Amino acid sequence: MTTIKLSTPVEHSGVTYSEITFDEPTVGDLAAADLVKGETHQMLAVLSSMSGVPIPALKKIKAKEFAKFSKAIDLGNEQEPTTGE
């Protein structure tokens, strides 16, 4: 689990988000990206699935802060080195 405190809280549907907690990604979280087009929308779908925060709320986060998410969250995209066996 990773929690990121927002420097500027965002509000959506009467809920204020001042921090967002992301669970370790599951295959289902990653598959959420397959349902939308565009790299940014795919990232939003994955982050929403991992955190339970609605996509419209995530869209209100400042871009500079949003960039921190990808650095702080391990999506498991890195390939394991092969041994040739």
Find tokens 């990206």 and name the residue.
33
Beta strands (DSSP E) in 1-85 are 2-12, 15-22
Residues 50-63 pLDDT 10s: 999 999 999 999 99
Q: Which residues, 6+ apart, have CB-to-CB distance to 68 below 8 Å?
A: 4
**Which residue(s) pair with 3 in the sheet?**
21
Helix (H, G, I), strand (E, B) or coil at 73: coil
Every domain of the chain and the residues it spans: 2-72
Instruction: Tell me the one-letter amino acid at 39.
Output: E
State the Cα–Cα distance between residues 75 and 13, nearest whole angstrom. Answer: 28
pLDDT value of position 83: 57
Tens digits of residue pLDDT in 7-49: 999 999 999 999 999 999 899 998 998 888 998 899 899 999 9
